Amino acid sequence: MTEQKEISWGDWIKAHDDPADNRKKPEALDHITVLDCSYANIAGCFATSVLSEFGAEVIRIEPPEGDPARTFTPWGLTHKDTGLGYLNEGRNKFHITLDLSKPEGQDIFKKLAKNVDIVVETYKPGQMDEWGIGYRDLQKLNPGIIYCAIYTYGQFGPKASCGKADVDIVDQAYSGITAVTGELPDDPDNPKPSEVPTKQGNWMGWYAGGGWAATAILAALHFRNLTGKGQFIDVSPAEAFGRCINYGLTYYQEFKEVIPRVGNYDVGVFPYTYFKCKDGFAFLSGFSDINWKALCTIINRPDLQQQYPTIFDRLNLDNMKVMYKEIEKWTMEHTYDEIYEAVMDYNKNIGEGVVVPGRISAPMETMKAENWWVRMTFEKIDDPYYDELVIANQPWKMTESPPRVKWVCRPVGADNEYVYNVKFGWGPEQLKELKEKGVI
Q: Are residues 333 and 399 in the same domain?
A: no
pLDDT digits 0-9 by tens, 261-291: 899 999 999 999 999 999 999 999 999 999 9
Q: Which residues of 411-430 are buried (b: 16+ CB within 10 A; e: fewer)?
A: ebbbbbeebbeebeebeeee
The amino acid at 259: I
- Is a pLDDT exceeding 60 seen at residue 4? no
Q: Is residue 259 part of a domain?
A: no
Distance CA 116, CA 107 (A): 15
Are both 86 and 231 inside the same structural domain?
Answer: yes
User: What rounded mean pLDDT belongs to the chain?
Assistant: 94
Is the pLDDT score of 142 beyond 50?
yes
In a domain, 224, yes or no: yes
Q: Are residues 220 and 305 in the same domain?
A: no
If one counts the domains in the chain, the total is: 2
Per-residue pLDDT reduced to its tens digit, 54-91: 999 999 999 999 999 999 999 999 999 999 999 999 99
Confidence of residue 310 (pLDDT cuts 50, 70, 90): very high
Q: What is the CATH number of the domain that holds 117?
A: 3.40.50.10540
User: Does 292 fall in a domain?
Assistant: yes
pLDDT at 388 over 70: yes
Q: Are residues 44 and 189 in the same domain?
A: yes
Q: How high is the pLDDT of residue 3?
A: 54
Q: Specify if 422 maps to a domain.
A: yes
Note the residue count of the chain: 440
C-alpha 393 chain-centroid distance: 12
pLDDT value at 177 more than 60: yes
| SS3 state at 169 | helix
Over residues 305-323, mean pLDDT = 95
Report the run of H or E that residue 382 belongs to, with start and end. strand 378-383
Q: At what angle do helices 42-53 and 168-175 cross, to 10 degrees?
A: 100
pLDDT at 75: 94
Domain with residue 325: its CATH number is 3.30.1540.10
* pLDDT for residue 187: 85
Q: Domain residues for 215? A: 14-244+384-436
Does residue 86 sit in the same domain as residue 229?
A: yes
Residues 213 and 335 in one domain: no
Find the mean pLDDT for residues 409-413. 96
Residues 331 and 201 in one domain: no
Let me know whether 60 and 176 are in one domain.
yes
Place 134 in a pLDDT band, splitting at 50, 70 and 90: very high
Asked whether residue 168 is assigned to any structural domain, the reply reads yes
**Same domain, yes or no, for 295 and 393?**
no
Q: Pick the range with the lowest mean pLDDT from 32-41, 114-123, 217-226, 260-269.
A: 260-269
Confidence category of residue 1, pLDDT binned at 50, 70, 90? very low
Section 306-313 average pLDDT: 96
The DSSP line for 50-100 is HHHHTT-EEEEEE-TT--GGGG--GGG-EETTEETTHHHH-TTEEEEE--T
Rounded Cα distance between 31 and 426, Å, is 23
Give 189-205 pLDDT, tens digit per residue.
888 888 889 998 889 99
Structure confidence at residue 402 (pLDDT): 95
Sequence-ordered list of residues with C-beta below 8 angstroms from that of 370, at least 6 positions apart, any chain: none
Mean pLDDT of 408-417: 96
The reply to whether 169 and 230 lie within a common domain is yes
Say if residue 22 is in the same domain as residue 55: yes
Whole-number pLDDT of residue 259: 86
Same domain as 220, residue 87: yes
